[in-house]
A and B are shown apart, each in its own frame.
Chain A
Amino acid sequence: MKKLLSVLLAAVMMLSTFTACGGGSGEQTTDDGEKVLFIGGSGPLTGDYATYGTSVKNGATLAMEEINAKGGTNGYTVKVVVEDDQADPQQAVQAYATLMDDGMHVSLGGTTSGACIAVTEEVKKDGLLMLTPSGSQLECTQYDNCFRVCFEDSNQGLYAADFIKDNNVGTKVAVLYEKSNDYSNGLKESFEKQAAVNGLEIVTVEAFTDQSNTDFSVQLQAVKNSGADLLFLPLYAQEAAYVITQASSMGLDVTFFGCDGLDGILEKIGAENVALTEGVMLLTPFAADSTTEPTASFTKSYTAKYGATPDQFAADAYDAVYALVAAFEKAGLNPGDEGFNEAMVKAMTEIEVVGTTGTMTWDANGEPDKNASAVVIKDGAYVAYQ
């Protein structure tokens, strides 16, 4: 009988623990009794794309610490949690569910496009505001409550073609893209379209797939024969690292130009190959060496805290947290209030944020309005293109 009683007691205790953390998206407090605004997101913290997720986590965490050090927002302490999703849509949805169980108020979505799109389906059901730092594919903002900090893919291709034309970076352009990757396809298509508008001559378009993403000798040979002076690489950093090292060993002399996917190339290519990246250009609104605020102080504190120069993903995430806090202040409602999510979504289109990636406003489609610029790699560091 005694045994039965103790089992019962234990069961009751277990139950009460569950109820305590099953608060959903209502009011949350820290151990000290402070009120908490819970911002959650996911990104690849392990795996091939781990640099992206780690940067997002670091950038968002830094923003959180700065805001809390200044006393939080509207009496709330900001709490940021970034879970690991290995860039996998299924794991991103699981991470999202975990965060919702823990009582998330606003979402940072996913870091990579595929994962982020999966999360948009969930936030559509739950209605909360989502602001992805770096989900660049069109569908990442397909619902009214989804926003992003980075440029959309097709805009990136367009801006890249404009930038190359305006700054006279190259005239005979070759393109090498990954046919099995949506990001790469989107950029390639919009780039080709805008290049035609701008009168840039595309001399060859070469492709590969994720089954053949290590040997580029044939494609690079074709680029060489085409007489191109610029090679547009709408790729992620690992593939670009392969391309750049192989191009160097076959004596191909072109300017490499990529978009935000190329961010992180310096780490991917390895210390001994860094010299090969000299002159590589990438379209990104963030340059770590910028002297304007808030970028300069962001770079300084990020470098001090993590011992690495921030990349665009870190900057996007940092801006995302500040933007969400700005929207929270604008909305003027408390998490758990009736209509909190709707007010947050509405506030997103009304705020203006001076961030590390430029001054941004958002339209109802969830797209940011900010200036495009490019950085060039000099002596193993990203430098703003003049």
Chain B
Amino acid sequence: MNFLSNLISGLSLGSIYALIALGYTMVYGIAKMLNFAHGDIIMVGAFASIVFINNLGLPMILGVLLSIVVCVAVGVLVEKIAYKPLRSAPPLSVLITAIGVSYFLQSLAQLIFGTNQKAFPKFIQVAPVQIGELTIKGESIVTLAVTVAIMIALTLFINKTRMGKAMRAVSEDRQAAELMGISVNRTITITFAIGSALASVAGSFYGLTYSFIGPYTGSMPGIKAFVAAVFGGIGSIPGAMIGGILLGIIENMAKAYISTELSDAIVFGVLIIVLLFKPTGLLGKKINEKV
């Protein structure tokens, strides 16, 4: 029983990581950059929900949906202002810029909302489900279900639509894609939009699961999700899903059976071991560098 309920809460935590990791991995796969501000988009989304629901009094579901719009706008804006001018700059410059954007978003949230943590509205009320001795949190079920649905939709989008095809093309060879008439800039913008939308969904579920959010809410899940993306093979969409969910389960199992204090160390330790044996991550492709 104990094992099962820890497994389920690990799955739910893992699906939040997976949603965030998808954003990391898509942006990396297509724009070849690590968007370290991605974690903070979660926080932007969660605060946007609070503003829509608590301050403007909109219906809860509408508020959560509108927060996705806000996140997409912020994500695209960040890409246009901060990353696009650096398209041909060395990767290190882009990385530093991303870290700068991350601090900027955190400080901005502190300025606007203060440093206190704020209660997040329970936009979906689900009673815990009781199966024998096993109690499953209602939020866990919703989070899991929505994540699975989003993943299926995303996979279909990437594999079946023209836009998805363009994304795959840009990811494989940016210059060749451009020669084939694909607008690389537009493709990258859409990638950022999708990544930010997923981050917003993750933010809402984070708020639903943990009830409180603050200006730094996004940073730790952001780092964990980055680990998940690398773990699963950065650039690979199924890899991000598997990596995220495995990470959540490992974290919870480490807490339950080894030590609550060492769980983070164990999570990062697992990452190191995986990278030692499979440097490209679980599902990462081996790319032969041509010189």
Contacts and interface: CB of A to CB of B under 8 A. Distances in A.
Interface in B157-201: none
Interface in B107-145: 114-119, 121-122, 128, 130, 135, 137-139
A44 B227 CA distance: 34
Nearest to B8: A217
Contacts of A218: 6, 9, 252, 255-256, 260
A268 B6 contact: no
Contacts of B272: none
Q: In this complex, which of B122, B211, B263 has the most chain A Cβ atoms within 10 angstroms of its Cβ?
A: B211
B289 interface: no
A308 to B, nearest CB: 15
B5 A221 contact: yes
Given A208-B261, A225-B2, A271 B119 contact: yes
B146 interface: no
Interface stretch (A31-39, A242-250, A280-288): A242-250
B55 to A, nearest CB: 13
A249 B261 contact: no
B252 A273 contact: no
Contacts of B5: 221, 250
Contacts of A215: 13, 210
Nearest to B138: A249
Given A212-B264, A250-B128, A221 B2 contact: yes
A245 B252 CA distance: 19
B106 to A, nearest CB: 14
Interface residues of B, number: 32
A264 to B, nearest CB: 11
B13 A251 contact: no
Nearest to B126: A249
A51 to B, nearest CB: 8
A246 B252 contact: no
B128 A251 contact: yes
Nearest to A209: B261
B266 to A, nearest CB: 11
A131 B175 CA distance: 71
A238 B118 CA distance: 10
B96 interface: no
Q: In this complex, which of A211, A214, A242 has the most chain B Cβ atoms within 10 angstroms of its Cβ?
A: A214
A48 interface: yes
Interface residues of A, number: 34
A207 B259 CA distance: 9
A246 B256 contact: no
Contacts of A249: 128, 137-139
B160 to A, nearest CB: 36
Interface string A187-221: 00000000000000000001111011011011101
Contacts of A222: 2, 256
A107 B240 CA distance: 55
Contact of A46 (B114, B119, B139): B114
Contacts of B261: 179, 207-209, 212
A270 interface: yes
A215 B114 CA distance: 23
A138 interface: no
B220 A211 contact: yes
Interface in A293-334: none
B122 A272 contact: yes
Contacts of B118: 270
Contacts of B2: 221-222, 225
B52 interface: no
A275 B13 CA distance: 26
A272 B135 contact: no
A197 B286 CA distance: 63
Contact of A246 (B1, B121, B211, B263): B211
B145 to A, nearest CB: 16
A279 B2 CA distance: 27
A48 B210 contact: no
B212 interface: yes
B108 to A, nearest CB: 16
B188 to A, nearest CB: 33
B116 A48 contact: yes
A223 to B, nearest CB: 12
A47 interface: yes
Given A241-B211, A249-B139, A272 B264 contact: no
A47 B117 CA distance: 9
B124 to A, nearest CB: 11
B196 to A, nearest CB: 22
Contact of A242 (B116, B137, B211, B260): B211
15 contacts: A47-B116, A208-B260, A209-B260, A211-B220, A215-B210, A217-B6, A217-B9, A218-B6, A218-B255, A219-B260, A221-B6, A221-B9, A222-B2, A251-B130, A269-B119
Interface of B: 1-2, 5-6, 9, 13, 114-119, 121-122, 128, 130, 135, 137-139, 210-212, 214, 220, 252, 255-256, 260-261, 263-264
Given A208-B260, A241-B211, A246-B211, 8 more contacts: A48-B115, A218-B260, A238-B117, A241-B117, A242-B210, A251-B130, A270-B119, A270-B212
Interface of A: 46-48, 50, 179, 206-209, 211-212, 214-215, 217-219, 221-222, 224-225, 238, 241-242, 245-246, 249-251, 268-273
